[in-house]
């Protein structure tokens, strides 16, 4: 536990609250799954970012002068026999570096006193069910005391604003964890690829869940706590369902498998997609589409460096994919025109309907504004060619060193009129995780190959 790291994050945040500001950050609740069984517990990302504390039933209160108070579960030997160790308020300041810790049952009694004479109360908006009314209750208690000379905060502000900006740029500790998460996930993908080819070679009935089991095994073997999101293991046409899960479908010789899976390590996500031939050998049409997606990803990677915009990798991807769709006959140039027309009219959309990137961090779709904060007032309007909607755009975010994003182009070809039959039901995505630096980006998920020949070689081994 690196208490200094969390203390320095709290100090940076406190400096943005204003001298009379105070912030309240609960961790996530435990969530019942059925009867008396809970879902596996996952702390709140904001709370953990500021405290390093993983227990449920805890709150952090941070005042603008930097003073921190932790509310946590009390020591309780009987409960600890059933549910496990609790740090408890006596040990918390020494371990976590908070100034003060008290038991969570004192929260409602103490909060009005902490809010008294403050001007602004900050908390994460629209994040925790019931938090607004809890704050309202505390403020009512403060108001009841104003006739004795207390001041009640007049302003409520969204803590997500400053916290999202902090979390958007990953520090060395975070980058190191994300590299390690990427390495574990890469090994998991390799393991799944190898099992697919080996089982088919042995004539076995391979199912999507067999490959999912390999992912989980490698995640845990590497020390990851759990998958960062529900793994997608999609055989054949299932790959064209963007939010497919690992299910029971057979993994057939001759089809592709799309796996989108990444582990979470100590609160940080990885997010990798690979698409590979189930038997280890691409067919001609599969390889043609695969190489197109890979070329589009290479173009996106080349557009990812400090000073570029968040949208630049996406635009680079779309350009390569659109040209490829014309070249391969997925789009008919006589109908849709030139590559510029394809882009302008978004004619590529039936085959590429998602964005190329998202921020990655504690959450797989991590926080952080996609708009450049220094250009908020520069609004442009355009008419979307597909929906005819008027879309208001602000300039997209300028990339800075330490930002982490995915680069994940794909192509999804459902059977349809005018679509060349050899490409029917092929879905391909290639996704890597990139840390932005001054000269380019570091791909932290390339422990598993992307090159078609390299994938075939790996699966032969
Ligand atoms: N696995 C979620 C995503 O790629 O965005
Ligand atoms: Mn992703
Ligand atoms: Mn993904």
Q: Is the CB of 271 under 6 A from ligand 1?
A: yes
pTM of the model: 0.97
Q: Is the CB of 408 under 6 A from ligand 1?
A: yes
User: To the nearest whole percent, how much of the chain has pLDDT over 70?
Assistant: 100
Nearest CA residue ID for atom 5, ligand 1: 365
Q: Is the CB of 364 under 6 A from ligand 1?
A: yes
CA–centroid distance, residue 242 to ligand 1 (Å): 9
- Taking only the tens place, the pLDDT of each residue in 267-289 is 999 999 999 999 999 999 999 99
CA–centroid distance, residue 264 to ligand 2 (Å): 13
User: To the nearest whole percent, how much of the chain has pLDDT over 90?
Assistant: 98
Closest ligand relative to 405 C-alpha:
2
- Give the residues across from 261 on adjacent strands: 272
Q: pLDDT band at residue 5, thresholds of 50, 70 and 90?
A: very high
CA–centroid distance, residue 312 to ligand 1 (Å): 19
Do 434 and 172 form a contact (C-beta atoms < 8 A)?
Answer: no
CA–centroid distance, residue 273 to ligand 3 (Å): 6
Residues with Cβ within 8 Å of residue 105, at least 6 apart in sequence: 74
Closest ligand relative to 230 C-alpha:
1
Q: pLDDT band at residue 227, thresholds of 50, 70 and 90?
A: very high
Structure tokens at 26: 């609960």
What sign has the CA pseudo-torsion 297, 301, 302, 307? positive
Structure tokens at 404: 């982490």
Other Cβ atoms within 10 Å of 430 Cβ, number: 22
Mutate to test the pocket of ligand 1, among 188, 260, 430 (most ligand atoms within 8 A of CB): 260
- Taking only the tens place, the pLDDT of each residue in 297-340 is 999 999 999 999 999 999 999 999 999 999 999 999 999 999 99
- Taking only the tens place, the pLDDT of each residue in 403-431 is 999 999 999 999 998 999 999 999 999 99
Q: What is the DSSP string of 413-453?
A: E---TTS-GGGTTEEEE-BEEEEE-SSSEEETTTTS--SHH
pLDDT score for 143: 94
Catalytic residues: 36, 243, 260, 271, 354, 358, 365, 408, 412, 429, 431
Compute CA 403 distance to the chain's CA centroid, rounded to the nearest angstrom.
13
Q: What is the DSSP string of 282-293?
A: --HHHHHHHHHH
Atom of ligand 1 nearest to the CA of 229: 1
Other Cβ atoms within 10 Å of 108 Cβ, number: 12
pLDDT over threshold 90, residue 1: no
CA–centroid distance, residue 361 to ligand 1 (Å): 12
Nearest CA residue ID for atom 3, ligand 1: 271
- Taking only the tens place, the pLDDT of each residue in 354-386 is 999 999 999 999 999 999 999 999 999 999 999
Distance CA 161, CA 210 (A): 42
Residues at Cβ < 5 Å from ligand 2 ion: 271, 406
Domains for the chain: give ranges and CATH numbers: 3-165 (3.40.350.10), 169-460 (3.90.230.10)
Q: Is the CB of 228 under 6 A from ligand 1?
A: no
Let me know if 33 is exposed, middle or buried by CB neighbors in 10 A (0-12, 13-18, 19+). Answer: exposed
The closest of 7, 8, 41 to 27, measured between CA atoms, is 41
Mutate to test the pocket of ligand 1, among 234, 271, 274 (most ligand atoms within 8 A of CB): 271
């Amino acid at each position: 536990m690196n208490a200094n790291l969390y203390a320095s994050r709290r100090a940076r945040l406190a400096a943005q609250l204003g001298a009379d500001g105070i912030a309240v950050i609960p961790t996530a609740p435990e969530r019942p799954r059925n009867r008396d069984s809970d879902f596996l517990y996952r702390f709140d990302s904001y709370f953990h970012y500021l405290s390093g504390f993983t227990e449920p039933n805890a709150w952090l209160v941070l005042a603008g002068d930097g003073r921190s108070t932790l509310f946590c579960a009390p020591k309780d030997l009987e409960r600890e026999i059933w549910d496990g160790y609790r740090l408890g308020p006596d040990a918390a300041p020494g371990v976590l570096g908070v100034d003060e810790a008290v038991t969570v049952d004192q929260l409602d009694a103490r909060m009005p006193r902490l809010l008294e004479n403050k001007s602004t109360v900050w908390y994460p908006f629209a994040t925790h069910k019931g938090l607004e009314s809890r704050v309202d209750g505390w403020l009512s208690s403060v108001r009841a005391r104003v006739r004795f000379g207390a001041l009640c905060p007049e302003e409520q502000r969204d803590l997500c604003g400053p916290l999202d900006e902090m979390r958007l740029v990953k520090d060395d500790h975070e980058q190191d964890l994300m590299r390690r998460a990427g390495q574990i996930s890469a090994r998991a993908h390799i393991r799944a690829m190898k099992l697919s080819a080996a089982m088919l070679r042995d004539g076995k009935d391979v199912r999507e869940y067999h490959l999912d089991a390999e992912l989980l095994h490698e995640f845990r073997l590497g020390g990851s706590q759990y998958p960062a999101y529900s793994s997608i293991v999609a055989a054949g046409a299932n790959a064209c369902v963007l939010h497919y899960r690992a299910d029971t479908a057979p993994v057939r010789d001759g089809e592709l498998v799309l796996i989108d899976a990444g582990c979470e390590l100590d609160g940080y996500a990885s997010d990798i997609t690979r698409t590979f031939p189930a038997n280890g050998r691409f067919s001609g049409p599969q390889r043609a589409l695969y190489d197109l997606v890979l070329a589009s990803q290479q173009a996106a990677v080349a557009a990812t460096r400090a000073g570029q915009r968040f949208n630049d990798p996406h635009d680079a991807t779309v350009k390569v994919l659109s040209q490829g769709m014309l070249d391969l006959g997925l789009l008919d140039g006589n109908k849709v025109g030139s590559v510029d027309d394809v882009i302008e009219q978004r004619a590529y959309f039936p085959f590429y309907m998602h964005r190329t990137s998202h921020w990655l961090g504690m959450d797989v779709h991590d926080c952080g504004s996609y708009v450049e904060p220094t250009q908020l007032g520069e609004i442009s309007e355009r008419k979307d060619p597909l929906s005819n909607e008027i879309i208001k755009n602000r300039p997209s975010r300028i990339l800075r060193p330490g930002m982490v994003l995915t680069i994940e182009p794909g192509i999804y070809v459902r059977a349809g009129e005018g679509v060349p039959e050899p490409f029917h039901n092929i879905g391909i995505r290639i996704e890597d995780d990139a840390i932005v630096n001054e000269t380019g980006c570091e791909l932290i998920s390339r422990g598993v190959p992307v090159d078609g020949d390299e994938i075939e070689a790996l699966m032969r081994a």
